[in-house]
């Protein structure tokens, strides 16, 4: 019996009524716009004259995130293969979670370490901009607030990236589960199964389920005891004639009514209802 993949539990939707596939596309567009916006901001508005190396690193990350998001759209919309989506999902955990977390902590540490320098630059700017005015404590509050805003913003973005990566992995898991289900269903459906009843001195109205080859062996064991290539046309014809002459053979078109199969197609088909509960 094919059971529901554990990856699907509680992860049937991206959020509210948005399906996993549509949600994956939307989060990819969000990453794309975020990468472009970050690149523009780091070029035009460096934060308190951060170290040049850190600014270049953040700029490179923004470009990488943009390219990564473009590949994600290609994998989700154009390519649509499990392999490409798996690569995209793995990259999301490396680039958007691990590397982003490292850069966020590095940026927060850098701003905290350069607190005195930033405070000095702020005071010099205030004196230059407003010579007659004296605003006590403005620069201290401004620099501290900026550090807190950057810390909260970057860590919140990290949590959002983790959620996005989990949803992307759930979408991939659902695709793989549906593919395994389809292969299993096709494998079972490819075997012709018949249910029949036999009446004799020893067997009365007993039901059996087996494929065509097993049924022929049951009817004509001597004729079918040799290899298929060695069977005579007469023996095969006789076995088939005896097979079709059994009056009680019932061809079960509805597989759900076949109760005596060792591998139940019902158990597999029931899973389809669970899978269709998840949005595309």
Least confident of 30-34, 43-47, 78-82: 43-47
pLDDT surpassing 80 at residue 200: no
Among residues of the chain, what percentage have pLDDT more than 90?
A: 21
Q: DSSP 3-state assignment of 182?
A: helix
Strongest mean pLDDT among 118-127, 153-162, 177-186, 198-207:
153-162
Alpha helical stretches, state H, the chain: 20-44, 52-73, 82-91, 100-113, 115-129, 138-189, 212-219, 233-245, 265-275
DSSP 277: T
pLDDT higher at 226 or 97: 97
Q: What pLDDT digit, counting tens, does each position of 68-122 carry?
A: 999 999 999 999 899 999 999 999 999 999 999 998 898 888 888 888 888 888 8
CA 174, CA 8: separation in Å to the nearest integer? 7
CA 28, CA 39: separation in Å to the nearest integer? 17
pLDDT at 42: 78
pLDDT at 119: 83
> In the structure, what pLDDT confidence band is assigned to residue 258 with cuts at 50, 70 and 90?
very low
> In the structure, what pLDDT confidence band is assigned to residue 198 with cuts at 50, 70 and 90?
very low
pLDDT at 74: 95
pLDDT surpassing 70 at residue 237: no
pLDDT at 230: 47
pLDDT surpassing 70 at residue 125: yes
- Using alpha carbons only, give the angle 167, 168, 171 rounded to the nearest 5 degrees: 85
pLDDT at 65: 92
pLDDT at 195: 42
Extract long-range pairs of 158-166: CB within 8 Å, 24+ residues apart. 158/97, 158/100, 158/101, 158/104, 161/92, 161/96, 161/97, 161/100, 162/97, 164/27, 164/30, 164/31, 164/92, 164/96, 165/89, 165/92, 165/93, 165/96, 165/97, 166/11
Query: What's the mean pLDDT when you consider all of the chain?
Result: 71
Q: What pLDDT digit, counting tens, does each position of 262-277 carry?
A: 444 444 444 444 444 4
Structure tokens given for 93: 């955990």
> In the structure, what pLDDT confidence band is assigned to residue 184 with cuts at 50, 70 and 90?
confident
> In the structure, what pLDDT confidence band is assigned to residue 136 with cuts at 50, 70 and 90?
low
Contact 106, 54 (CB under 8 A): yes
Among residues of the chain, what percentage have pLDDT more than 70?
A: 57
CA 247, CA 47: separation in Å to the nearest integer? 87
pLDDT at 225: 42
pLDDT at 128: 73
Strongest mean pLDDT among 109-118, 194-203, 257-266:
109-118
Contact 189, 245 (CB under 8 A): no
pLDDT at 238: 57
> In the structure, what pLDDT confidence band is assigned to residue 165 with cuts at 50, 70 and 90?
very high
pLDDT at 214: 54
């Amino acid at each position: 019996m094919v059971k529901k993949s554990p990856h699907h539990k509680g992860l049937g939707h991206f959020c509210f009524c948005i399906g996993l596939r549509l949600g994956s596309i939307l989060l990819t567009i969000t990453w794309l716009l975020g990468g472009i916006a970050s690149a523009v901001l780091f070029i035009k508005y460096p934060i308190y004259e951060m170290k040049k190396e850190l600014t270049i690193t953040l700029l490179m990350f923004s470009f990488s995130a943009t390219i990564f998001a473009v590949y994600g759209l290609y994998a989700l919309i154009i390519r649509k293969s499990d392999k490409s989506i798996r690569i995209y999902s793995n990259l999301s955990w490396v680039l958007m979670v691990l590397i982003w977390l490292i850069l966020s902590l590095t940026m927060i540490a850098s701003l905290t370490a350069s607190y005195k320098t930033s405070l000095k630059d702020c005071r010099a700017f205030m004196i230059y901009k407003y010579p007659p005015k004296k605003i006590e404590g403005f620069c201290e509050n401004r620099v501290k607030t900026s550090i807190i805003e950057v810390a909260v913003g970057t860590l919140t973005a990290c949590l959002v990236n983790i959620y996005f990566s989990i949803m992307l992995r759930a979408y991939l898991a659902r695709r793989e589960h549906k593919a395994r289900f389809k292969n299993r269903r096709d494998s079972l459906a490819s075997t012709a199964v018949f249910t029949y009843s036999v009446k004799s001195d020893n067997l009365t109205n007993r039901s059996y389920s087996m494929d065509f080859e097993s049924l022929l062996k049951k009817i004509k064991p001597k004729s079918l005891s040799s290899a298929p290539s060695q069977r005579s046309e007469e023996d095969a014809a006789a076995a088939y004639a005896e097979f079709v002459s059994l009056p009680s053979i019932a061809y079960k078109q509805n597989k759900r009514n076949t109760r005596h199969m060792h591998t139940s197609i019902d158990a597999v088909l029931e899973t389809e209802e669970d899978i269709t509960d998840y949005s595309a």
